[in-house]
Amino acid sequence: MVNRQLQSAKGFLGLLSRETGVSGDEFAIASFVTENFKTVTDEIHTDTLGNIYALKKGNKQLSKIMLAAHMDEIGLIVKKIDDRGFLRFTSVGGIDPKTLLSQEVVVHGRRKIPGIIGSVPPHLIQTADANTVIKMENMAIDVGMPPEMVHEVIQVGDMVTVKREACELLNNIFVGKSLDDRAGVVAMKICLEELSCLQHSHDVIAVATTQEEVGIRGALTSTYNIKPDLAIAIDVTHACTPDTKAQVNNDLGKGPAVAIGPNIHPAIYKHLSETAHLQRLPIQIEPIPGASGTDARAIQVTRAGTPTGLISIPLRYMHTSVETLNMLDVLNTGKLLAYFVASLPDDLEGLLCY
């Protein structure tokens, strides 16, 4: 059973990673998510900001439980086409310029155009500049076409994404672009599949949110729209690598990180932790002393406030084209969400009083 679920999750995440959806331009990924969520929900619709709402009705339909994972990705946007046909660009979302040089990209113009972000060969670098990081404004995309042809298919404002095929390493380690937060979308689908085999009193609305990478906007509007009684955001968090040293304490393969701190309702944290213990699901505890920087922040303070939790999938090399995670953590995130929802009492007000 676990192997079958893992293979299904890997396949879905690989397809999601391949799809494009830079913040504000999520049309392609939204269409793909909608088609895949139709099979596990009772109703599905979208709103004017592009958020996708997938409803799974509860047995008693007493309250509304919101799950939220963002489907947008960081990317680039064309800001100038120079006289030689090279594309000048800037970032949409948080991109480290050091990760861009020598990347293959796709320019989403009138049709998809392949390109590269070239770098100066080491033979031509002046000694004084050898250790200097090249700024994004000094980079350009080469699409291999003369200026007049470039203007026929590309214009200022076109989005650009890094071209990267997802791949699998050993021991269920999965690598690809935009796993932040397409992995959270996969976890929501796993949760909805699990709920098909469980009794749950409350309606569950799984929201694939937009524009998280540029200001958690989709979570803000979708929470205002739903007005949930309880919500959990699903995102990624930093996992340990040799260079993170003491800054990061989460490891791949040891389960999702359950957040605790002022962004999190203490009763939700407690119930998530107890559910994980009862179901023998591994978790890690992540103290967050302020705003989490995830959809959970917007959800918590929308309208008069929403009791909010946060589950994060450990991820290495965040906001690069080789984001890396353990698929078992994704699977266990989905299972924890499902068992959490199924174990909620009919009286949520009593649970959330503290």
Q: H/E element holding 83?
A: none
Assign domain 76-162 to its CATH superfamily.
Peptidase M42, domain 2 (2.40.30.40)
Between CA 340 and CA 214, with CA 225 as vertex, the angle to 5 degrees is 85
Determine the pLDDT at residue 138.
87
- The β-bridge relationship of strands 52-56 and 104-108 is unpaired
Ranges 112-121, 189-198, 211-220, 332-341: which has the least confidence: 112-121
Q: Peptide bond before 181: cis, by omega within 30 degrees of 0?
A: yes
- The β-bridge relationship of strands 43-46 and 52-56 is antiparallel
Determine the pLDDT at residue 349.
84
Check pLDDT > 90 for residue 148: yes
Q: Which CATH class is domain 2-73+177-352?
A: alpha beta
Where along the chain do its domains lie?
Answer: 2-73+177-352, 76-162
User: Pick the catalytic residue: 194, 212, 213, 323?
Assistant: 212
Check pLDDT > 90 for residue 149: yes
Q: Do domains 2-73+177-352 and 76-162 have the same CATH topology?
A: no
- Residue among 244, 249, 228, 253 at smallest CA distance from 306: 228
Check pLDDT > 60 for residue 225: yes
Active site residue 165: no
